[in-house]
Amino acid sequence: MPELPEVELTRRRLERELVGKRIERVVVRAPKLRLPVPQELHVSLPGRTVRSVERRGKYLLFHCETGWLIVHLGMTGFLRLLPGTAPPGKHDHLDIVFEDGAVLRFHDPRKFGTVAWTADPPATHPLLAGIGPEPLTAAFDAAYLFGVSRGRRVAVKQLLMNAAVVAGVGNIYANEALFRAGIRPDRAASSLSRAECGRLVRAVREVLQSSIDQGSTCRVAEGTVAYHPLDFEVYGRGEGACTRCDGALEEIRLGNRSTVYCPRCQR
């Protein structure tokens, strides 16, 4: 599933490719993904110019003059700008065709993605209104994390993955940040000290920014999304040895997600 770094890099690429382009028409091949695709796209988008491409959590926001197109890639979705002559495939569910002939195509084999439209400020849309602060901004700091963790019995990893607490931190980067901060993922969130909250905030920022700087983990090849092997310290390494102490890593399930940690280095 694309996480925040992958979505941010998609945003940067699409911003370079799309800003200033004028939309000619919209082709909807699947009336419903995770949610119904808005019928008004056929009326609202043609004739509009893409002014900016922004991100909120894992959502992409396309400012199209009179409103905002909101897109979530789901588990297997991706967006590509293609020549208008490229024939659609089985899982190509939405085309935005531009006046210069280019096509922005949404491919999503599992149909877990989302497409929405709003003429209001996007922050007020129900999909976005409850999202917490962006992890790479000053709003996500030690004082904030300490405050929202008080009285919370949920595991600290699950707290990090709660989009209402902090935007866009998924399974991969929650594992990595907790390892870097030296905190067990299954500890109760309320047990975190102020100092540990500070370490964890720094670790979240570092692992997300590092992935963005390296070009993220997501690659599109032959119509599918694949991950190239970044040097993760714990994620996906349940049978491996700790890169710090050489002890055996352990793998558990938290919230039905695979969770890998070092019982020596994380307390």
pLDDT tens-place string over residues 141-193: 999 999 999 999 999 999 999 999 999 999 999 999 999 999 999 999 999 99
- Same-domain status, 13 and 90: yes
> Average pLDDT in the 246-263 region?
94
Handedness of CA 84, 89, 90, 94 (dihedral sign): negative
3 state SS of 91 = coil
The verdict on residue 24 lying in a domain is yes
The verdict on residue 246 lying in a domain is no
- Same-domain status, 178 and 214: yes
- Same-domain status, 104 and 210: no
pLDDT of residue 229: 47
- Same-domain status, 104 and 205: no
In angstroms, what is the C-alpha Rg of the chain? 20
pTM of the model: 0.92
The verdict on residue 172 lying in a domain is yes
- Same-domain status, 9 and 62: yes
Specify whether the CB–CB gap between 80 and 106 falls below 8 A. Answer: no
For tokens 């890639």, name the residue: 73
The verdict on residue 13 lying in a domain is yes
CA-to-CA separations, 63 to 39, 68, 99, 132, in angstroms, rounded: 18, 5, 17, 21
- Other C-beta atoms closer than 10 Å to the C-beta of 104 total 23
- Same-domain status, 68 and 166: no
- Same-domain status, 164 and 78: no
The verdict on residue 92 lying in a domain is yes
Q: Which of the residues are catalytic?
A: 2-3, 58, 257
The verdict on residue 261 lying in a domain is no
- Same-domain status, 39 and 79: yes
pLDDT of residue 227: 46
Q: Which of 162-171, 191-200, 235-244 has the lowest mean pLDDT?
A: 235-244
Residue type, 41: L
DSSP state of 119: S
The verdict on residue 22 lying in a domain is yes
What is the residue range of 109's domain? Answer: 4-124
Q: Domains in the chain: how many in total?
A: 2
